[in-house]
Chains A and B, each alone.
Chain A
Amino acid sequence: MILSIASGKGGTGKTTVSVNLALSLDRVQLIDCDVEEPNDNIFIKANMENTQDVNVEIPEIDYEKCLSCGKCADFCRFNAIIDLPSGIKVFPGLCHSCGGCKLVCPNEAISWKDKKIGIIRKGTNEGISFFEGILDIGESRPTPIIKSLKYQIRADIDTILDCPPGTSCSFLETVNGSNFCILVTEPTPFGFNDLKIALEALKEMHIPFGVIINRDGIGDDEIEIFCKNERIPVLLKIPYNKDIAKLYSKGEPFINYFPEISEQLVLIFNNIKGMVK
């Protein structure tokens, strides 16, 4: 099973739920897909090793062959190739590696070259096979790294994907293909607003989902009323508790101190697994 943990809003507790769930299970794969700010390993504490560079392909112009016809620049929707009197110019940072420029070039003047945009690292601890991706500073495309991370998903072991916040490309790339998605939210107007956006995206993608309300008790019951009306399962409410916050601030998982929440997380996991089969 592939279970993704998402939220829409940042800071609601995706990482908290992901790592505490993973640590509560006997054998699981955990993949931190928040490649712009991966921090699951602060809690997992695995010894990490670099496994591979993630490259994207960008066009390289052979100016000996280039006819300056401008067809590549006309084709590019991202302004990554521009036709100028001084010659065709490539802006690699804007390229989405679609390959169209190479196809439309009448004189085979365009070839591909690799450009590194990040790395993938792996480690193991407490029965967790853990992966994380790191986007290089200054790079703007997280999705190729998330794709490479998802190639690590094995069929013979359950996988938890810790999603990036938001509902744009990196979120969609991560949840795509999940059997189920847990949306972690908090009972505030901010959590509620972003939850609604995220669940609309999941509906479009036909991914079944349920909600975990974190920091239950700090706000109102709008989310619960909404979920009841919309028939969205509220899987768990994690109470607002200073001790959980203290453990978090030290980079400590809470499961050893709150075994009842750990048990509930395992129960939810097994129920979802039974349901998606």
Chain B
Amino acid sequence: MKIAISSTGTELTSQVDQRFGRCSYFLIVDVETNNFEVYPNSAASAPNGAGIEAAKNLVKKGVKAIISGNIGPNAFQILQAEGIEVVPEFKGTADEAVRFFKEGNYSKAAHHNVNAHSGLGR
């Protein structure tokens, strides 16, 4: 199973980016093998709807879960409709996030946890 982690860098030691739609990279990790792919987030510079675009791209990538910091309402709506698990408010590195996910001691989000435009820092 593949999961996506919003990341500030390209390594598993990188910190989880607290922004979803405007994060720098997504690390797409195969949780069975720990192999991962670095996916630069092309939505980060979108003038509008970065969260929507990022969510759509991850749907295409076939991920089954997302670990990030803040998820807005529009992105959440897409992820929920596509049956992708959302684990928000994670602080730490990407490999800690993978371990956290594998341990399964989290409750998946039933709602977005920030308002739209939160990733714009205003």
Contacts and interface: CB of A to CB of B under 8 A. Distances in A.
Nearest to B116: A93
Interface residues of A, number: 13
Contacts of B74: 91, 93-94
Interface stretch (B27-35, B47-55, B89-97, B99-107): B47-55
A79 B82 contact: no
Given A78-B49, A93-B116, A94-B48, A83 B56 contact: yes
Given A84-B56, A84-B59, A85-B82, A79 B46 contact: yes
A96 to B, nearest CB: 9
Interface in B47-105: 47-50, 52-53, 56, 59, 74, 77-78, 81-82
Contacts of B49: 78-80, 91, 94
For chain B, the bracket of interface size reads 10 to 19
Interface string A171-200: 000000000000000000000000000000
Contact of A84 (B46, B78, B116): B78
B82 A82 contact: no
A86 interface: yes
A86 B59 CA distance: 10
Contacts of B81: 84, 86, 89
Contacts of B50: 79
Contact of B82 (A77, A80, A84): A84
A94 B52 contact: yes
Contacts of A89: 77-78, 81
A82 B48 contact: no
A86 B79 CA distance: 11
Contact of A85 (B46, B47, B59, B116): B59
A79 B49 CA distance: 5
Given A79-B46, A93-B116, A86 B52 contact: no
Contact of A91 (B47, B52, B82): B52
Interface of A: 77-80, 82-86, 89, 91, 93-94
Given A78-B48, A86-B81, A94-B52, 10 more contacts: A79-B49, A79-B52, A82-B52, A82-B53, A82-B56, A84-B81, A85-B82, A89-B78, A89-B81, A93-B116
- Sorted from nearest, which 8 A-B pairs have the closest CB atoms? A79-B49, A79-B52, A78-B48, A94-B49, A86-B81, A82-B56, A79-B53, A94-B48
